[in-house]
Amino acid sequence: MRLPLVAGNWKMNKRLAEARALARAVAEGVSKLGGARGRVEVVLGPPYLALPAVAEAASGSGLGIAGQDCSHEKDGAFTGEVSAAMLKDAGATHVILGHSERRELLGETDALVAKKAAASLAGGLLPIVCLGEALPIRQAGRTLERVGRQIRRSILDAFPAPPEGLTVAYEPIWAIGTGVTATPVQAQEVHAFIRSRLGEAYGVDWAAKTRILYGGSVKPDNAAELFAQPDIDGGLIGGASLKSEDFLAIVSAALST
């Protein structure tokens, strides 16, 4: 059995007071979901500057805290960059890497994502590595080709041996912030493909234990159907993570699977 994981990516939203309030609301809400601890893992991904505030607000709750990116360098003359060690100092336990917005808007390559994944795990963070395809790729029937290439270049090139603690997130770019969601069947097809490729590289047993999240416009009204798919182990949640009631409804859906 894989422990479901629900991670909220707040992106560039929430100032300090708002971030504290949201973290407290989620922590209190999760505590009221009877028996949630040990049955679902919940992670909050605030902006860099809010990491210490959110970590403090969630202290003792069992919630994980994720940075939204990290440098592949340990330290040095890299203006504006944040290292894995800095994220840990700020209270992070996880880090989101290769999100489609960073790939599409900021030009991050598979090779760079691989370097960041290796650096984050070496630095004591648990990486959530994102994969996914744009609409033209989907329409051309090349989804599995694109995702397969990302697996090779963003994950396998980063880790010669099976990486303990890795989580993968499949996020169809055409379903992020558009209101369109991949059907459960579409999502399951890609999740099963990812697990199969990871199994070929690292062994079936390792792949069977590794969580693969869905990250394309998950909402309270579609979460349960998505999470019921055999290879979907939770979600990387964007907009719905900014409202505690919506996010907690998604956490509750993960508990029911």
Could you tell me which of 193, 236, 223, 188 has the C-alpha nearest to residue 10?
236
Catalytic positions are 99, 171
Sign of CA dihedral 245, 59, 3, 189: positive
Which two tokens mark 150? Answer: 């990302």
Cα 48 versus chain centre, distance: 16
Query: Is there a contact between 250 and 218 (Cβ–Cβ < 8 Å)?
Result: yes
Measured over all CA atoms, what is the biggest interatomic distance in the chain, rounded to whole angstroms? 48
Check residue 51 and report its DSSP letter: H
Which two tokens mark 109? Answer: 């390559």
Could you tell me which of 193, 213, 114, 194 has the C-alpha nearest to residue 156?
114
